[in-house]
Structure 1
Amino acid sequence: MSNEEVEAALAHLIGTDYESSLKAEVSTLTGRERVNGPGDFSTKEYDPKRVTLVTDDKNIITRICFG
């Protein structure tokens, strides 16, 4: 699944409350093994297949990043 396809598949998450259980759902939906949420440790190596769920200060998902 390309990054564009992943963004489309996960678009429904934008504006929703983040819960750590979403990482497993994202992995299942996209086939991506590396999924990070807010506060998760991440290596500095660039991995275009890594999905990061970005949240605001109220823990609402605001965007999806890769790398």
Structure 2
Amino acid sequence: MNNDEIIQALQYLIGSRYVPAARAYIGELTGRDRVHGPRDITTREYDLNRITVQTDDKDVITGFSFG
């Protein structure tokens, strides 16, 4: 699944509250091993297979980024 397909597949999650269990769900749905939530510690290395869940200050999912 490429990044554009992932954004389309996860579009329905935007606007919902982020919970840590969403990481496993997103990984299973996309086949990606590296999914990071808003407060997860991560490295600065550039990894095209990493998905970062973006949220607002109320933990509502606003989008996803890669790398």
- Confirm or deny a common fold (TM above 0.5): yes
TM-score by length of 1: 0.97
User: Which SS does the other structure have where 1:43 is aligned?
Assistant: coil
Structure 1 runs, 4 residues or longer, greater than 4 Å off: none
CA deviation map 1:35-60 (0-9, x unaligned) = 00011011110001100001000110
Show the counterpart of 1:38: 38
Provide structure 1 residue ranges, at least 5 long, that are not aligned to the other structure. Answer: none
Q: Which runs of 5+ in 2 are unaligned?
A: none
Give the residue type in structure 2 aligned to 1:58: K
Tell me the TM-score normalised to structure 2 length: 0.97
Residue aligning to 2:22: 22
Amino acid in the other structure paired with 1:21? A
Aligned to 1:61: 61
Equivalenced residue count is: 67
User: AA paired with 1:59?
Assistant: D
Partner of 1:6, secondary structure, is: helix
